[in-house]
Chain A
Amino acid sequence: MRNIEPKQITEIIKNSVIKINYNLDNSLVKRLQEAKQNESKSLSKSILDDILKNQEIAKKGNVPLCQDTGVVVVFVEIGQKINILGDLETAINEGVRQGYKEGYLRKSIVDHPFKRTNTQDNTPAIIHQRLVPGNTLKFKIAAKGGGSENMSLVKMLTPAEGKEGVKKLVLDTIFNAGGKPCPPIIVGIGIGGNLEKSALLAKEALLRELDDSSDDSDIKQLEDDLYREINKLGVGPMGIGGDTTCLGVKINYFPMHIASLPVAINIQCHSSRHTEVTI
């Protein structure tokens, strides 16, 4: 067994939430620069330019990228040979608490659907744990904004609706969301499993590297087709029209019941803040 102290976990979460709220990934910055080059509408180009300038300012460390510094989502893969000397979720939430305070990040969590009292420290995080073989501990950490999350959905399609049904659902959802999720967006899609599994697949899809593609050739084709078709929708940066509606499409899938074709669409704004840490 390999022992892990809870304070190591707290430290990882704290440092990660601060880092991602001030720094965009290089691959995302590159993608935004390309989009700006290719954007034909001048007002839309100037919005992409604002987004690029914004990340330059945030990188200096005084002001976060976006005022919505999100809810913290953590996927933890725990090696079976790992022995955590304390409570994992308590350690993660302590990291969130410290990170959101020390990083001057906004506390955006309320305690109850109707009473809506702010918890004041951005806890609790949304934590998904999985036990896996091995002796490592892996964290995938995201700070997910509310604006784009609100435009996300799960729908149970029929198997007969197939690939075309999935495409139509994705295109309709993105068109109807318009400027609300802060386009250009990244689209995470989960296909298969069941109701909750599809939503988890979609969220995990968003945590993939921006430059990768699916290992499955059919799914990769669908990612490429949707990328092109979404950008033809003309929603554009902030919904004002143009060539740049999405910066990436990521699809994860899982086997499903003979009667079902569950599809989850998780929309991520251009302020895509996530990271991975393995110890």
Chain B
Amino acid sequence: MINLTTPITLEDIKRLKVGEKVLISGTIYTARDQAHIRLQNEENLKFDLEGAVIFYVGPTPARDNVALGASGPTSSYRMDDLAPNLMKRGLKLMIGKGDRSDKFIQEMINYQSVYLIATGGAGALLSSRIKKSRVIMYEDLGAEAIRELQVEEFPCFVAYDIYGNNIFKDNK
């Protein structure tokens, strides 16, 4: 088990190997389909991509006693062609679910970033690790807005590492 604190450094990336459990603490950002499309040409970015962690999620609305509602990962493959632009600008970790294209994997290795998965459909469990949440961009997108989250020991697994290993390899 590896504990990581944001922002993520190249040293952190080198330690991550497929199948390992990772607990992330610090600041992470949410973005999924529509936010990724907008980010491609965004000139007024409200957060630093250098060493950043992006979590592919569209949460449910929060009740008063929690920071955010259910917050499990969405399928990552839809962001495959949109992620390289962000990795180029310093994005280090992506958290989602499911496998991704060979082209994505190649780009990910080139930019020395890592793809993690969290347990899909465990939105209530993952929500309990989110301590604070605020919308920082694209409020009009509702659940798809970009949020800044403060997380404590947010649990993930390494799915692809920079050494070319792939957790889905023998099982697709």
Q: Which A residues lie at the B interface, using CB under 8 A? A: 43, 46-47, 50-51, 53-55, 57-58, 62-69, 104-108, 116, 118, 120, 147, 150, 175-180, 182, 233-242, 269-271
Contact = CB atoms under 8 A, between A and B. Distances in A.
Contact of A182 (B97, B124, B143): B97
Contact of B121 (A43, A57, A182, A242): A182
Interface of B: 19, 21, 34, 57-63, 65-66, 69-72, 74-75, 77, 97-99, 117, 119-125, 127-128, 142-143, 155, 157, 159, 167-168, 170-172
Contacts of A108: 58, 143
Contacts of A68: 58, 72, 74, 123
A62 B66 contact: yes
Between B59, B97, B122, B159, the greatest number of chain A beta carbons within 10 A of the residue's beta carbon is seen for B122
A240 B167 contact: yes
B70 A178 contact: no
Contacts of A180: 75, 77, 97-99
Nearest to B168: A239
B69 to A, nearest CB: 6
Main secondary structure of the interface of A (DSSP, over half): loop
Contacts, number: 156
Given A63-B123, A65-B123, A237-B119, 6 more contacts: A63-B70, A104-B62, A104-B63, A108-B143, A238-B120, A240-B157
B170 A241 contact: yes
A179 to B, nearest CB: 4
Nearest to A242: B171
Contacts of A175: 172
A114 to B, nearest CB: 13
Contacts of B19: 43, 240
Contact of A67 (B60, B66, B167): B60
Between B63, B121, B125, B159, the greatest number of chain A beta carbons within 10 A of the residue's beta carbon is seen for B121
Nearest to B126: A54
A270 B142 CA distance: 26
Given A63-B60, A106-B58, A54 B172 contact: no
A150 B75 contact: yes
Contact of B74 (A47, A147, A237): A147
B60 to A, nearest CB: 4
Contacts of A241: 167, 170-171
Between B70, B71, B77, the greatest number of chain A beta carbons within 10 A of the residue's beta carbon is seen for B70
A36 B22 CA distance: 21
B61 A179 contact: no
21 contacts: A47-B119, A50-B122, A54-B119, A54-B121, A57-B124, A58-B124, A63-B124, A66-B72, A67-B143, A69-B70, A106-B70, A106-B143, A175-B172, A178-B98, A178-B99, A179-B97, A182-B121, A238-B119, A239-B172, A241-B167, A271-B121
Contact of A107 (B99, B143, B172): B143
Contacts of A236: 171
A279 B77 CA distance: 43
Contacts of A104: 60-63, 69
Between A53, A176, A237, the greatest number of chain B beta carbons within 10 A of the residue's beta carbon is seen for A53
A62 B75 CA distance: 24
Given A51-B119, A107-B142, A238-B117, A62 B65 contact: yes
